[in-house]
Amino acid sequence: MQLFKDFINGIWNENPIFRMVIGICSALAVTTAANNGIAMGMALTFVLTCSSILISLLRNIIPAKVRIPCYIIVVATFTTVVDLFMKAYFPSLYEVMGIFIPLIVVNCIVLARAEAFASKVGPVRATADALGMGLGYTWAITLISMIRELMGAGTLFGYPIMGEGFTPWTIMIMPPGAFIVMGILVGLMNMITRKQVE
């Protein structure tokens, strides 16, 4: 039961994008296409999960005074794995993602979960939390991507959806479009939560 609570917490109650509003740099920058959102979400989920497991296993060994540098080294290791994997097997996607894959090293979500959760619990709970946070980030960033791609280009996952007569809303694939979509979605999520509480 506790594992399920840890898992579901990141998907809804403490969703990193829509609730805690952390790690949004990549959520705003790479979300011009749905494929980008899924790829970024999967990359972050992998790094977050592997880092949380290793940090949880080493929590009693890492000295308190150097814990943050140690966490960064662990995160950097798994980020390098993702970076090289994408560069080798998905070069076109790697080109689109640019600097945002290496920047997972300093993503607030990864470091926050390492400090606040993985360093305090066993590896099983750390895994459940990391998977929940990663999947919460993934669905949030993918939803933002889908809306921006649909309204900004008339396509979804690269396939035309809106038809010949559709006039793309160019603002949606520009930086202000990311803020508009995210603001609306945060507002909707707050409304849903308020209704549930009532």
Ordered by start, the domain boundaries in the chain are 2-197
pTM: 0.92
Tell me the per-residue pLDDT of 101-110, one tens digit each, with 9 for 90 and over. Answer: 998 988 889 9
Nearest to 79 by CA among 105, 111, 118: 105
What was the pLDDT predicted at 108?
87
- pLDDT by residue for the chain (198 residues), tens only, comes to 898 999 999 998 899 999 888 888 888 888 999 999 999 999 999 999 999 999 999 999 999 999 999 999 999 999 999 999 999 999 998 998 888 899 898 888 999 999 999 999 999 999 999 999 999 999 999 999 999 999 999 999 989 998 888 999 999 999 899 999 999 999 999 999 888 887
Give strand ranges (E) for 9-102. Answer: none
Residue type, 87: K
Q: At a CB cut-off of 8 Å and minimum separation 6, what does 43 contact?
A: 82, 86, 97, 101, 104
* Cα-to-chain-centroid distance, residue 118: 17
Q: Can you say whether residue 5 is alpha, beta or left, with left for phi > 0 and alpha for psi between -120 and 50 degrees?
A: alpha
Q: E strand or H helix at 183, and its extent?
A: helix 175-197
